[in-house]
Chain A
Amino acid sequence: MDPVPVLEARDISKSFASTGTIALSGVRLSLRTGEIHAVVGENGAGKSTLARILSGMERPDTGKLFLRGREVRFLRPRDAERHGIGLVPQQSLLAPGLSVAENLILGHEPRTLGIFLDRRRAYYETALASASFSFPLDPGSRISSLSPPERREAEILRALARGGEVLILDEPTSILTESEARNLFSLLKKLRDAGAAILLISHRVREVLSAADRITILRNGSLVGTILPGDTDECDLALRMASSSSCFTADGPSGGSGQAVFRFRGVSLRDSERVTLRDLEFEVRRGEIYGVAALAGNGLGALEDLACGERKCDAGSVELLGKPLWDWPRDVLRASVLAYLPTDRDGKGLCLGATVLENLAARGASRADWSRSGRASQRAAAARHLEEAGVRVRLDSPIDVLSGGNRQRVLSARELGPFAPAVLAANPTQGLDPRAQEETWNRLRSRAREGAGILLLTSSVDELFSVADRVAVLYRGRLTELGIRSGSVTADAVTRLLTGAAS
């Protein structure tokens, strides 16, 4: 016999007139106290829309919400908060310039005499909340000075402080590394055991299986079903999420041989954040994918800056195709030699505000004219590359309206469409659903087979083992080569190296 769910959604539908898309149609969901309920689906399946409806940020076109069996209507987020529902959105809504405490009370400021902000009480309340959930957060520290996991904690704390009973988390681990994600989940389990109802929006099959008590699957805005984690496994769940019924098949590894594409010789770099790259010595040869894995804060970002030519090393040399990287003219380098998928996709990889076509044409391999005839041929080339990448978007729509997965597809269409002998891929599948992830990996593999040398920088062991031919680990600025990926190199060994457990 089912207990009365704390929050229940019945037959929720929502469409967006401006884009003509149906985000949700007839979705049902019930959330009980003391459970972690996962909502999974591919990018664009309607997960975030559901979260926004449940937390009062959007109103459904049809359908009803029930709180402990009584119908409720949320006109604005505050209505949901009043009923104890807190949302941790995918993209942080914290004000970076304010402190944790100030963010927590924003909109609910404790006042003295009804006018003045009672700062002391704000700090006290924050410290109390922080301690009661055993978060090690200092109420006075600025949001901008926090690390990504700390920001997530601050978000959760804010949602708890406002709601308390129902916590909705939208892709909470998208900006976290695996170990940080594990910590987050043990925290969520603690909250669950204390009686909270937690709705977890995610597309990461593995973490959902390990953390959730029940799983609701969405596909293209429709409900596929609600299942227990014991009734499924990774492959099965991924299949249920996938919008096409065929299971993706991973291509096998490609073999590396031949001349060096990237060559790092005794490279050292002092980074602003304590991490120092020391004596990096490795090369990436034609036709191979060389994977370097590291957790956040171990120098992977600095290595990315070096490999794309944004920064110069303090000692040693970085060579590309036998020539010092800094001697390549920047425009030639990026136009026809180096393909680059940056970690910061929206900041460095794409130009938000510009159209899809402009983003694609930004890397004119031929530096063709942008004249009318030039544009026509670029349109054709862009359309072809997009089709190869499996993206169906209008060339003239602004890149901003695309989902994360489609943005990544546009990026890889631009970078991996035309052949380049060197490829730098930094966390190329971060935030992608399994299908988009597999597509990206396959493109990298096929580029390697065609003879490109690929340097893959990643913070995911999964990714490292899925695509890299040779693997290395970066820990506190030092690189350990593990050689060819095979039975002798296990994920366990890599994980131990990543965390410094084996040194």
Chain B
Amino acid sequence: MKSDVLEHSMRLTGSSAPFALAAALAAAALFILAAAEDPGAAFAAFFLSPFRPTVLANLIEQAAAPCICALGTALVFRSGDFNLGGEGQAYAGAALSVLALLAVPALPGPVGLAAGMAVGAAAGALVAFPSALSRRNAGADVLLSTFLVSQAVVLVLDWAIAGPFRDASSNLIATPVVAEAYRLPRMLPPSWLSFAPLLAAAGAFCMDRFMRTSRRGLELSLYGRNPRFARTMGFRVEAYAFWPLLVSGALNGIAGALLALGANGRAVRGMTGGIGWNGISIALLAGNDPRWILPAALFFSWLETGSRQASILAGIPADVGTLAKALVLLVATARFLGGRGREVRS
């Protein structure tokens, strides 16, 4: 059953994305019509206000972290599995990068920032490691193991942030703020826009090159579709069962670190809530094609920003964005729109 879903997601490319987008927009529009006292103002707030310069810059910044998560998700999809542990991996990346930088407050800014990101990547990879190891050595179910490990990590980090590492002077349940020099440099104040979107774009480019033009990328995708075939062809299947998950974990960790060192400047309890799922939705919407992941992430970010704006400016419940995203996920995973479903697979 799982393999059917995978098979389907891999074939999703393009065909159902327009449906998903249309459904999301239609749902948002209907919701606004039903809920708004002044639908005209609400429409403007939802659809147009995100294009004001500062809002737009923030929108772009917000797309970066989910985009990086989605790249890792797509990579694991390629290898024939799901990484459902994005939540915990990103949370670990956020918390550990902050804790590491709190421990060394006097490094030069760029060095500290780079070190923080590296610690974040390592932390995310570490959370993914047990799943990768058990997949390679025992063929364990990644879907379950990533999710379970991640949930456990979330609980531990919630406790750590609320307990031993809490900044007592703050009203937030959060760690202290890292040194100003370590935070992502803001390129267009007052917005939070940093180099993170560029990093995401570079990541998407590299991932695309890898998947489409490298020998290993080809082998990985063949392995993901049919492990028995890959084994018969003499591919190094143990490697392909292992490192995509680690890379995905590391990317999630980097996404977490970007969140922590950006607008927040600290690790806040529950700060990465939903980022893993967003990553999966974005990867699905983009058909797991790295070239479409950044646009899909921007679209999601626009939905979020629009619904936030509509709730502030026109009193619409902010859930409209969540609803629209849920519809994207639903439509993107609906088998019948993917075309070649079970019928052709005997």
Task: Spell out A's residues near B (CB within 8 Å).
Answer: 91-93, 308, 310, 330-335, 340, 342, 347-354, 358, 361-364, 367-372, 374-375, 400
Contacts and interface: CB of A to CB of B under 8 A. Distances in A.
A372 B11 CA distance: 23
Nearest to B216: A370
B346 interface: yes
B222 A375 contact: no
B217 A334 contact: no
B interface secondary structure, majority = helix
Contact of B213 (A308, A352, A375): A375
A351 B215 contact: no
Contacts of A335: 234
B248 interface: no
B214 A308 contact: no
Contacts of A92: 346
B234 A330 contact: yes
Contact of B215 (A340, A350, A352, A369): A369
Interface of B: 7, 10-11, 213-215, 217-219, 221-222, 225-226, 228-236, 344, 346
A140 to B, nearest CB: 25
A367 B215 contact: yes
B218 A358 contact: yes
B214 A370 contact: yes
A371 B214 contact: yes
Contact of A310 (B221, B231, B344): B231
Given A92-B346, A375-B213, A352 B232 contact: no
Contacts of A348: 228-229, 232
B213 A351 contact: no
Contacts of B346: 91-93
A333 B234 contact: yes
A67 to B, nearest CB: 27
Contacts of A364: 215
Contact of A354 (B221, B228, B234): B221
22 contacts: A91-B346, A92-B346, A331-B235, A334-B232, A334-B233, A342-B232, A347-B229, A348-B229, A349-B229, A349-B232, A351-B225, A351-B230, A352-B226, A353-B10, A354-B221, A358-B218, A362-B219, A368-B215, A370-B215, A371-B213, A372-B213, A400-B344
Contacts of A93: 346
A331 B225 contact: no
A352 B236 contact: no
Listed from nearest, the 3 A-B pairs whose CB atoms lie closest are A334-B234, A330-B234, A91-B346
A363 B228 contact: no
A interface secondary structure, majority = loop
Most buried by A among B222, B226, B232, B236: B232
Given A310-B231, A331-B235, A353-B7, 6 more contacts: A352-B225, A353-B10, A353-B11, A353-B225, A354-B221, A372-B213
Contacts of A368: 215
Nearest to B223: A351
A363 B214 CA distance: 14
A351 B222 contact: yes
A340 B232 contact: yes
Contacts of A342: 232
A445 to B, nearest CB: 24
Contacts of B232: 308, 310, 334, 340, 342, 348-349
Nearest to B215: A370
A362 B222 contact: yes
B233 A363 contact: yes
B226 A351 contact: yes
Contacts of A308: 232
Nearest to A371: B213
A115 B56 CA distance: 59
B5 to A, nearest CB: 14
B215 A331 contact: no
A349 B222 CA distance: 12
Nearest to B222: A351
Contact of B226 (A330, A347, A371, A372): A347
Nearest to B231: A310
B214 A362 contact: no
Given A362-B218, A363-B233, A400-B344, A353 B226 contact: yes
B218 A331 contact: no
Nearest to B344: A400
Nearest to A89: B346
Contacts of A358: 218, 221-222
Contacts of B7: 353
B228 A347 contact: yes
A244 B153 CA distance: 67
B324 to A, nearest CB: 31
A246 B13 CA distance: 45
Contacts of A352: 225-226
Contacts of A347: 226, 228-229
